[in-house]
Structure 1
Amino acid sequence: MKSFKVLVILFLISFSNAQSNEVLAFINSLNENQLKKTALSFDDLSRETWHFLPATMYKRHGIALYDLDETQKTYAFNLLKHHLSNVGYLKAKKIIELERYLGELSGDKVFRDPEKYYIAIYGNPKIDTLWSWSFEGHHISLNFTISNEKISASPRFMGTNPAEIKEGTQKGERVLQKEEDLAFELMNSMDEEQKSKAIFNSIAFPDILTFNKSKVEPLENEGIKAKNLNEEQKAILTELIKEYLLTIPKELAKERYRAIRISEFDDIQFAWAGSTNKSKGYYYRIQGDTFLIEFDNTQNNANHVHTVWRDFNDDFGRNLIKEHYQNASHHKKH
């Protein structure tokens, strides 16, 4: 156990150093006017606000990709890459590309613009041990808080429109495929008694219930608990939870899942609303003591997905920030 903890600490330090280098490279590439847009106070109220609407519908803080030159965009995406896994980074890039696809499909390239994704940095990574940053635009909201070598990465929102491309050269592409397929695999594996527990509403909700709230509390206790699933079903649920964690770097995901497995797995609730037919709208959620996953596919004839991971106590790094200031106070006393 001790060696495992040492390995995780060494990884976190290495990871922290790598992402610090990336954020400094990005910051140092900005001119004065660009820096004014990008760099905000850590106490700025926008740090704990977020949305997944297109940028033309909801004003973002920070600097847009269209305000960066090609070298600066490379630094920006390197920063994103170092805070996500390869899987998460690829999903984010494909979601951005869906804006280009929709722009070409609709002819409205002003509303559907893959350059309208914004980066905001809160605090000063050059001198502060506590800082955060966000990457946000249509169907993406990624929020990272960093305190020394520790990192919080929620809320994390990813959505796709369309969920499945129905025509053209990209026909059949589904960016969030596993999040959908594993959930249906779990539902289809259940007997009637299990389904009666899991399905708590015959009609799906028009969107994720927590929407874009800054702080969320646990939702109603609905659905079937993990301890009431058989071993095969538990394995499917495990893979589904891991698919959401795979967005973040591997070792961070492992540590987060390990904590879930030890302290709360048996009481995790899988709850379903709406149709069990993929052609009709449906919603599911996975809720533990510390986290919530929501998935909704109801819009555009059930071809428009919204997903989110929320940490009840650590969204926007709240636990991390609390720990940071407690340690700071401790050092002042000694």
Structure 2
Amino acid sequence: MKVKINAHTIKQAAFTMVCLFLLGKAEAQDISKKANAFLQTLSQELKEKTLFTLEDEERYNMNYVPMPREGVTFHDFDETQKRAALDLLKACLSKQGYEKTLEIRSLENVLRTIENDDNDKMPDGRPRRDPLNYHFCIFGTPSPTEVWGWRFEGHHISLNFTSDDGKIVSATPTFLGSNPGIVKEGDSRGKQVLKKESMLGFALVNSLTADQLKIAKFSEEAPPEIITANHREAGDIEKEGIAYGKLDQAQKKTFMKLLQVYVGNYIFDFSETLMAKIEKAGIENLHFAWAGSLKEGKAHYYRIHGPMLLIEFDNTQNDANHMHTAVRDLTNDFAEDILKRHYEMEHR
């Protein structure tokens, strides 16, 4: 029996692997070792602030604004503890993903200078704009065989990981934001942390024909925020926009580059697994939808939406110079699907 292999499918798979490699391949590793190494550096008091049960509702308390949070922060760490904490973060992200977290944190200093408000304080008296005010929480007991999770969160960052059998099995919801979107003054002038997310989105929408744009653009006004916000569940979002299959070959290539920017933020083995899951659900079932202006500097929004995936990008605040992005696995945010099976097995 002869099996026909579609040439486009081969090219697409090859393109996927090349993109993931270029984004920073790293060997798969048991992240529980990194988590336990981090915990071993902490005093009992700091451990108590860091550790929660896997079932604790705090695990679902995702947010990305300056606010009081649970967990230890960089303020609590000496250099050894800081290094161990960052080693855990590096073990879960690609090089590009990790660098984005550093740059987003550094924007807190930019905001503090721009806003120049010495009275803008958190309840603990620290500045509201603070690159050290990012929190580490661990849910459950880090183990190479059991399910556990951890979170890294602060202003414009929310990274939620779940591990089982030593591997990351869920890394969503993921939120990364940037304010300013483009730094316009000071020593960091010109910095644009989410540049690829913005430029490739514009490149794709502005490559559409008039007829394609009628399908892709669902509103003249951009929503004021990503639609999923910080909700535990993404909810039912209407599938709008133009289907992948309705794009020409050049547009498909841009679409895939844009998709890879988001998928490529995670460590290679999870990025590869997530992409395989997206492909199994069908690249042809993904839609690209746009709202708002087609030009930089004015409010705009886009999303990539499919059977199991939702990616959102929004740039509406601060005269469209304040970007929010989110990635949601509609079947497994917070590892809901895996935990459900895990608890069912335990009850048996």
When normalised by structure 2's length, the TM-score is 0.86
Among 50, 72, 82, the alignment partner of 1:73 is 82
Distance 2:285 2:164 in 1: 30
Distance 2:216 2:297 in 1: 20
Distance 2:59 2:268 in 1: 26
Distance 2:131 2:68 in 1: 15
Q: How does 1:1-334 map to 2 (within 5 A)?
A: 15-17=28-30, 19-54=31-66, 58-108=67-117, 110-125=127-142, 129-151=146-168, 152-328=170-346
Match for residue 6 of structure 1? none
- For the 8 Å contact 1:118–1:136, the answer to whether it is kept is yes
Distance 1:207 1:104 in 2: 25
- For the 8 Å contact 1:218–1:312, the answer to whether it is kept is no
Distance 2:227 2:164 in 1: 30
**SS at 1:240's partner residue?**
helix
Q: Which runs of 5+ in 1 are unaligned?
A: 1-13
- Normalized per residue, which structure has more helix? 1
Count of residues in Structure 1 that have an aligned counterpart in Structure 2? 313
- For the 8 Å contact 2:298–2:316, the answer to whether it is kept is yes
Cα displacement string for residues 280-329 of structure 1 (whole angstroms, at most 9, x for unaligned residues): 00000110100100100000000000000001121111122123334545
The Cα of 1:127 is off from its aligned counterpart by 8.4
**SS at 2:256's partner residue?**
helix
Letter of the aligned partner of 2:270 in structure 1?
L
Cα displacement string for residues 109-143 of structure 1 (whole angstroms, at most 9, x for unaligned residues): 61101111000011111587111000000000000
Letter of the aligned partner of 1:289 in structure 2?
P
- For the 8 Å contact 1:116–1:137, the answer to whether it is kept is yes
Distance 1:327 1:16 in 2: 26
The Cα of 1:205 is off from its aligned counterpart by 0.8
- For the 8 Å contact 1:154–1:316, the answer to whether it is kept is yes
The Cα of 1:59 is off from its aligned counterpart by 2.4
Cα displacement string for residues 217-274 of structure 1 (whole angstroms, at most 9, x for unaligned residues): 3411211111111111111111111100111012321222133123321121111010
> RMSD across aligned C-alpha pairs, in angstroms?
1.6
Distance 2:158 2:174 in 1: 6
Distance 2:270 2:145 in 1: 22
Letter of the aligned partner of 1:251 in structure 2?
D
> Relative to structure 1, is the Cα distance of residues 79 and 189 closer, same or farther in structure 2, using a 3 angstrom cutoff?
same
Q: Which runs of 5+ in 2 are unaligned?
A: 1-26, 119-126
Runs of 4+ in 1 over 3 A off after TM superposition: 325-329
Letter of the aligned partner of 1:28 in structure 2?
Q
Query: Structure 1 vs Structure 2: percent identity of aligned residues?
Result: 40
Letter of the aligned partner of 1:101 in structure 2?
V
When normalised by structure 1's length, the TM-score is 0.90
